[in-house]
């Protein structure tokens, strides 16, 4: 079932070739997932590279989260393609002037980096399990040791150097992976709503806050399920990270919007009508007021009052959920909102997402939950919890 397109009769006119929404909700989901990947890896790097000790309880969870979500990043694109079997053509026979052709190389490199870093991080646990277990899982762990069972201090020091080097390399790789998405939109001059030099920066900072927010939710939920105390210092550290980056994200979004309106380019009257009409609720109310301003004020209040204990954990978790919602709305408003404005700037369309179908809401929900399901399974094989006695390496 294809998306339904409606014309808004009071908003001007459009040419026949402007009535098609080439990119659906799946293309909005794609940068959302890549943002979660980049943000989660940022948290891991804050501990592995910069030594933020209070983030130790979520460092390995962040690494696994980044890996699981990265595995599912290509799926929205593959489902959107009419011929997904042709997906490798852009990698095998790339057009070097196309930003899209770079995705295959960026994604492949980043997946390999995450796998190698995760192997070094979990190598002590893998070796211990390989030596202790005699069942089928024991064979699995013995295969993963790659013949290396040395857990001496010299070997551990070697591993730590590799983890540090991979984490340092992964910082520009993760941010470049998501920054290129913003670059792709910002370089499309045919869409008035997208053509902004600030688009890569906006995508990057919103990615960081979304990934950190996701880890807050996952960490609190995992502690509740495992019935162990939540490390309030860790949650507060994540809260400070969201609080710092959300202010930058708001400023960048506001600057991009002000720049777009102030330029006064051709079609500006239609853009003003768009942002004060159809975009009023999804952009100003849902994305900004509820999803960004409310968490910022709430976090600021808790930091100012020195909130601790259950009130801090509950407040930060709710703020994290609002941030996750806000970032998805930002992706929606960019991808879908940019196509609701005709290329000539003379008229508006409205997009109504179907529930069923390969590009409907149901598939979008499944693709969003699938990485979490994979993460649940992966944590059974490789526990990321810092309090696990068998997980000797951090």
What would the two tokens of residue 379 be? 């944590």
Q: Is the separation of the CB atoms in 386 and 31 below 8 Å?
A: no
Q: Is the separation of the CB atoms in 79 and 198 below 8 Å?
A: no
**For the chain, what is the radius of gyration of the CA atoms?**
22
Measure the CA–CA gap between 117 and 220, rounded to whole angstroms: 25
Residue 261: the pLDDT is: 72
Residue 320: the pLDDT is: 95
Residue 270: the pLDDT is: 67
Sign of CA dihedral 175, 340, 188, 23: positive
Q: Closest by alpha carbon to 82, among 136, 159, 170, 2?
A: 2
Q: What is the pLDDT of residues 348-364, one digit of tens each?
A: 777 888 888 888 899 99
Task: Tell me 393's DSSP state.
Answer: -
Q: What is the pLDDT of residues 222-264, one digit of tens each?
A: 999 999 999 999 999 999 999 999 999 999 888 888 877 776 5
CA 213, distance to chain mean position in Å, is: 10
Residue 264: the pLDDT is: 52
Superfamily, domain 4-381: Formate dehydrogenase/DMSO reductase domain (1.20.1630.10)
Task: Tell me 344's DSSP state.
Answer: T
- Give the domain ranges of the chain: 4-381
Residue 392: the pLDDT is: 39
- In this structure, the strands spanning 347-352 and 4-12 are antiparallel
Q: Is the separation of the CB atoms in 294 and 322 below 8 Å?
A: yes
Is the pTM above the cut of 0.85? yes
Residue 294: the pLDDT is: 94
Measure the CA–CA gap between 326 and 276, rounded to whole angstroms: 19
Low-confidence ranges of the chain (pLDDT < 70): 1-13, 16-17, 263-273, 276, 344-345, 386-394
């Amino acid at each position: 079932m294809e998306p339904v397109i409606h014309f808004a009769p009071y908003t001007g006119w459009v040419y026949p070739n402007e009535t098609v929404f080439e990119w659906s909700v799946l293309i909005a989901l794609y940068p959302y997932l890549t943002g979660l990947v980049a943000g989660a890896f940022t948290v891991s790097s804050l501990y592995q590279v910069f030594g933020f000790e209070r983030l130790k309880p979520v460092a390995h969870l962040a690494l696994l989260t980044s890996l699981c979500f990265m595995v599912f990043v290509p799926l929205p694109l593959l489902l959107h393609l009419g011929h997904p079997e042709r997906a490798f053509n852009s990698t095998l026979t790339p057009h070097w002037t196309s930003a899209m052709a770079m995705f295959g190389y960026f994604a492949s490199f980043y997946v390999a980096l995450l796998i190698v870093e995760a192997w070094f991080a979990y190598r002590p646990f893998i070796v211990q399990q390989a030596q202790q277990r005699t069942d089928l899982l024991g064979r699995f762990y013995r295969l993963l040791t790659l013949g290396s069972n040395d857990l001496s201090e010299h070997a551990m020091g070697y591993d730590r150097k590799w983890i540090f080097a991979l984490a340092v390399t992964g910082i520009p790789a993760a941010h470049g992976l998501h920054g290129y998405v913003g670059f792709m939109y910002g370089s499309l001059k045919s869409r008035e709503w997208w053509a902004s030099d600030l688009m890569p920066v906006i995508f990057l900072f919103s990615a960081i806050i979304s990934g950190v927010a996701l880890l807050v939710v996952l960490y609190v939920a995992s502690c509740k399920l495992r019935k162990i105390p939540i490390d309030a210092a860790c949650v507060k550290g994540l809260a400070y990270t969201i609080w710092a980056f959300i202010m930058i994200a708001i400023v960048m979004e506001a600057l991009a919007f002000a720049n777009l309106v102030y330029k006064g380019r051709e079609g500006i009257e239609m853009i003003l009508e768009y942002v004060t009409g159809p975009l009023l609720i999804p952009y100003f109310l849902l994305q900004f007021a509820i999803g960004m301003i409310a968490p910022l004020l709430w976090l600021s209040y808790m930091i100012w009052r020195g909130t601790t204990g259950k009130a801090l954990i509950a407040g930060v978790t709710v703020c994290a959920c609002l941030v996750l919602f806000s970032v998805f709305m930002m992706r929606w408003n960019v991808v879908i909102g940019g196509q609701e404005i005709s290329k000539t700037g003379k008229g508006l369309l409205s997009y109504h997402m179907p529930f069923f179908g390969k590009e409907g809401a149901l598939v979008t929900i499944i693709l969003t939950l699938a990485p979490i399901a994979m993460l649940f399974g992966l944590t059974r094989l490789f526990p990321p919890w810092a309090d696990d006695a068998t997980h000797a390496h951090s």
